[in-house]
């Protein structure tokens, strides 16, 4: 029969084992592991909303936040973490969120207004901070700029000043989750035809899908609207994420636009569905007769490529006329691709990412008939906004590719040679989530930021 001393030792060992087996990670560690990919390293937002702005779409009380972390929010593409986090860990995360403030070390960050790169010292000037969720930017000329705000308005900046009132008469948008007024693009022949193009999330009976229109602006009014692409109503879905979308043009008069998979990942491989694709039409909405799936039964005729998860960066290199795209992965697996006619880019059969809860999405990285990316980022930097630099101010960067990142709050500049990335450098960091990046006709670089919502301009520091 064991004596009292032996029993005490056994009890101590049992308690120690129990505490070890029930050990949990810190709230900040769990945030970095499971939440930062979407909500940003500083909680100001990434692919998904800020957690410190006081706006809670699905309830701000402890019980609601706990439930959302545990069970997920399917409509907005938030996964459930109940299988990878204990109830104690979920409670601790909720308490961290509900305080509505960043950890102290993040509050102390103070980005400078000048940055050094390998080739240039760069000066940063704030153009405006009087915006609500700016998303896309386009130039009518070097002094006249259009900016979309996700809730719906299209704003105009003239001679460096934001006009107080938005453009009147633009369409209502499906402003939920990642949906809203998305991209704006100006016709390459704008001086002759005055056409302006918009991509936005459109609603039918509470469901949404990306829609493309064009129109003109007369005395700050949206007029002469024409429909270029609208999916049949049966393809609208009730999720609130992965709408894409960018609009770009090539030299042959084609218009390209992207639609994300809308959270229906298997749709990306289905040619009868519009989502998870890059589309090609003419500027008036007509379908080119050499589109790759025009004669495939039941295929959406505008599809140009498929297997695309959520491309939020499109750019045509004016030197080569090649279409490049940046595409959101999951937790890792952001991609840079050259989009070619009829190609399958693999989602959701192959990927370099994993599910947001850390589980394997697929073990496959390559498959016959599926394209692998020119470059991928792991961990995910949350790519968004893309443009080729051609201009006189940064002439050493001509032909380089500017890539924006939401989660990592960066603009990267990529040196491209023979369709390969031979070098990449961080141009700016920690100014805010980079939603769009674009080159002005005067050669300066404009960056659209979220959290804080503002537009900044980059020029060489002379």
pLDDT attached to residue 98:
61
**Judgement on whether residues 281 and 390 belong to the same structural domain of the protein:** yes
Is residue 215 over pLDDT 60?
A: yes
Determine the pLDDT at residue 9.
Answer: 39
Query: Catalytic residue numbers?
Result: 242
Which domain CATH number covers 385? 2.120.10.30
pLDDT average, residue stretch 269-297? 98
Averaged pLDDT score across all residues of the chain: 88
Q: Is 460 helix (H, G, I), strand (E, B) or coil?
A: strand
Distance CA 110, CA 143 (A): 30
The residue out of 107, 141, 163 marking a domain boundary is 107
Residue 308 CA to residue 210 CA, distance in Å, equals 15
**What pLDDT sits at residue 14?**
40
Mean pLDDT, residues 185-209 taken together: 97
Q: What is the mean pLDDT of residues 262-272?
A: 97
pLDDT at residue 46 greater than cutoff 70: no
- Quickly tell me which residue has 């002379």 as its tokens: 462
Max avg pLDDT among 64-68, 90-94, 377-381, 400-404 = 400-404
Name residues whose C-beta falls within 8 Å of residue 375's C-beta, 6 or more positions apart in sequence: 335, 336, 414, 421, 424
- Same domain for 160 and 30, yes or no, is no
Rounded CA-CA distance 256/315 in Å is 9
Residue with tokens 């792991």: 378
**Structure confidence by residue, pLDDT tens digits, 347-383:** 999 888 877 777 777 778 889 999 999 999 999 999 9
Same domain for 196 and 321: yes
178 or 111, higher pLDDT: 178
| Whether residue 35 is found in the same domain as residue 134 | no
Domain match, 164 and 45 both: no
Residue 44 has what pLDDT?
Answer: 67
Residues 224 and 239 grouped into a single domain:
yes
Contact between 411 and 432 under an 8 Å Cβ cutoff? The reply is no
Give the pLDDT band (50/70/90) at residue 23.
low
Quick one: tokens of 137? 């930017």
Residue-wise DSSP of 354-385:
B-TTS--S-S-S--TT-PPPSEEESS---EEE
Query: Which of 72, 90, 107 is the last residue in one of the domains?
Result: 107
CA distance 137 to 145: 7
DSSP 31: I
Does residue 398 surpass a pLDDT of 90? yes
Please determine, for residue 103, whether its predicted confidence score (pLDDT) is greater than 60: no
205: domain range?
114-460
- Spell out the alpha helix ranges (H) of 86-213: 87-98, 104-107, 190-193
Question: Looking at the structure, do residues 260 and 374 belong to the same domain, yes or no?
Answer: yes
Indicate the pLDDT class of residue 224, thresholds 50, 70 and 90. Answer: very high
Confidence band of 64 (pLDDT split at 50, 70, 90): confident
Same domain, residue pair 260 and 327: yes
pLDDT at 210: 98
Q: Is the peptide bond before 176 cis (omega within 30 degrees of 0)?
A: no
Per-residue pLDDT at 421 exceeds 80: yes
Whether residue 99 is found in the same domain as residue 184:
no
pLDDT at 45: 67
The whole-angstrom separation of Cα 209 and Cα 239 is 9
Query: Which of 279, 245, 243 minimizes the C-alpha distance to 136?
Result: 245
Least Cα distance to 380 among 344, 414, 407, 340 occurs for 407
Phi, psi at residue 75, to the nearest 5°? -60, -35
Instruction: Give pLDDT, residue 12.
Output: 38
Contact between residue 132 and residue 180 where contact means Cβ atoms under 8 Å apart: no
Query: Same domain for 285 and 434?
Result: yes
* 8 A C-beta contact, residue 27 and residue 93: yes
Helix (H) or strand (E) holding 387: strand 383-388
Of the three residues 78, 107, 136, the one that is the final residue of a domain is 107
| pTM confidence score | 0.84
Min mean pLDDT across 87-96, 179-188, 314-323 is at 87-96
The arithmetic mean of pLDDT across residues 407-422, rounded, is 96
pLDDT band for position 42 (50/70/90)? low
Confidence at 295, pLDDT banded by 50, 70, 90: very high
226, pLDDT greater than 70: yes
Tokens of 454: 């503002």
CATH code, domain carrying 59: 1.10.760.10
> Domain count of the chain?
2
- Reply yes or no on whether the pLDDT at 5 is more than 60: no
Token pair 């193009």 is at which residue?
Answer: 197
Q: What is the DSSP letter of 186?
A: E
Q: Label residue 96 by pLDDT band (50, 70, 90).
A: low
Using CA atoms, how far apart are residues 154 and 167, in angstroms rounded to an integer? 6
127 and 81 within one domain: no
Q: Looking at the structure, tell me whether residues 219 and 309 fall in a common domain.
A: yes
Q: What is the mean predicted confidence (pLDDT) over 230-257?
A: 97
pLDDT score, position 72: 80
């Amino acid at each position: 029969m064991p004596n009292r001393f032996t029993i005490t030792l056994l009890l101590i060992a049992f308690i120690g084992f129990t505490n070890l087996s029930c050990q949990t990670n810190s709230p900040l560690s769990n945030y970095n592991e499971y939440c930062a990919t979407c909500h940003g390293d500083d909680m100001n937002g990434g692919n998904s909303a800020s957690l410190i702005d006081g706006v809670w779409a699905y309830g701000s009380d402890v019980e609601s936040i706990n439930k959302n972390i545990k069970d997920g929010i399917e409509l907005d593409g938030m996964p459930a973490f109940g299988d990878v986090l204990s109830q104690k860990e979920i409670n601790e995360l909720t308490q961290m969120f509900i305080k509505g403030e960043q950890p102290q070390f993040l509050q102390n960050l103070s980005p400078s207004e000048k940055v050094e790169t390998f080739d240039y010292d760069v000066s940063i000037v704030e153009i405006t901070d009087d915006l609500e969720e700016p998303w896309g930017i386009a130039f009518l000329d070097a002094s006249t700029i259009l900016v979309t705000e996700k809730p719906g308005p299209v704003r105009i900046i003239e001679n460096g000043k934001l006009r107080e009132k938005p453009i009147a008469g633009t369409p209502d948008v499906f402003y939920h989750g990642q949906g809203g007024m998305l991209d704006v693009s100006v016709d390459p022949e704008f001086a002759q035809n005055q056409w302006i193009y918009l991509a936005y999330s459109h609603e039918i009976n509470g469901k949404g899908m990306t829609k493309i229109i064009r129109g003109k602006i007369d005395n700050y009014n949206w007029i002469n609207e024409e429909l270029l692409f609208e999916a049949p109503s049966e393809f609208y879905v009730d999720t609130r994420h992965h709408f894409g979308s960018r609009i770009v043009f090539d030299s042959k008069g084609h218009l390209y636009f992207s639609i994300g998979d809308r959270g229906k990942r298997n749709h990306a491989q289905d040619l009868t569905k519009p989502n998870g694709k890059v589309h090609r039409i003419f500027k008036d909405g007509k379908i080119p007769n050499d589109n790759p799936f025009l004669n495939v039964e039941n295929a959406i005729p505008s599809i140009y490529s498929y297997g695309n998860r959520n491309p939020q960066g499109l750019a045509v290199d004016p030197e080569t006329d090649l279409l490049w795209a940046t595409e959101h992965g999951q937790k890792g697996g952001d991609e840079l691709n050259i989009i070619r006619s009829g190609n399958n880019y693999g989602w959701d059969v192959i990927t370099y990412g994993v599910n947001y809860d850390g589980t394997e999405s697929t073990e496959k990285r390559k498959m016959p008939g599926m394209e692998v990316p020119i470059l991928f980022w792991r961990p995910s930097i949350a790519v968004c906004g893309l443009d080729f630099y051609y201009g006189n101010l940064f002439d050493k960067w001509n032909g380089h590719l500017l890539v924006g990142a939401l989660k990592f709050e960066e603009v990267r500049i990529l040196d491209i040679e023979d369709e390969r990335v031979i070098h990449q450098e961080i141009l700016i960091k920690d100014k805010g989530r980079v939603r769009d990046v674009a080159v002005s006709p005067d050669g300066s670089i404009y960056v659209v930021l979220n959290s804080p919502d503002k537009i900044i301009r980059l020029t060489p520091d002379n």
